[in-house]
């Protein structure tokens, strides 16, 4: 994998048929990393050349594009088709946003409890 850019062969694989839930662990981890990095605005991410076989498998599926980076890393990104399947139209909520929503719900419940408590105190 020393060439400058490796993308899927001219017969484009159909990414819509890829079962992302059934990918082997290393492939799944790379896809997860690239998806997370893309969400943070970083389309490329360095992946060690020791994972060449894993990258080749994802390349054959049409999930990634691989760019030679250094003798130790490749620059890898999701293909447009993979981004469309994994990111576009998928409602993503970061862990921090989920935590904030839970905290807001807790505050709202506390306010209701305090209001009820005040109402009970004034009624009695």
Query: pLDDT tens across 20-48, in order?
Result: 889 999 999 999 999 999 988 898 999 99
CB-CB contact of 27 with 54 (8 Å)? yes
The 10s digit of each residue's pLDDT in 92-124 is 777 888 899 999 999 999 999 988 888 877 765
CB-CB contact of 114 with 108 (8 Å)? no
Residues 6 or more apart from 47 whose CB is under 8 A from it? 30, 33, 55, 73, 74, 76
DSSP 23: S
Q: 64-68 and 73-78: which strand pairing? A: antiparallel
Q: How confident is the model at residue 2 (pLDDT cuts 50, 70, 90)?
A: very low
């Amino acid at each position: 994998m020393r060439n400058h850019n490796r993308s899927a062969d001219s017969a484009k694989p159909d990414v819509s048929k890829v079962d992302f839930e059934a990918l082997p662990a290393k492939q799944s981890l790379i896809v997860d990393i690239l998806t997370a990095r893309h969400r943070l605005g970083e389309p490329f991410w360095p992946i060690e050349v020791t994972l060449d076989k894993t990258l080749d498998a994802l390349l054959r599926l049409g999930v990634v594009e691989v760019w030679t980076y250094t003798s130790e890393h490749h620059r890898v990104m999701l293909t447009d088709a993979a981004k469309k399947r994994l990111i576009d139209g998928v409602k993503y909520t970061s862990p921090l946003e989920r935590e904030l929503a839970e905290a807001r719900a807790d505050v709202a419940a506390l306010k209701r409890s305090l209001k009820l408590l005040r109402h009970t105190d004034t009624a009695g």
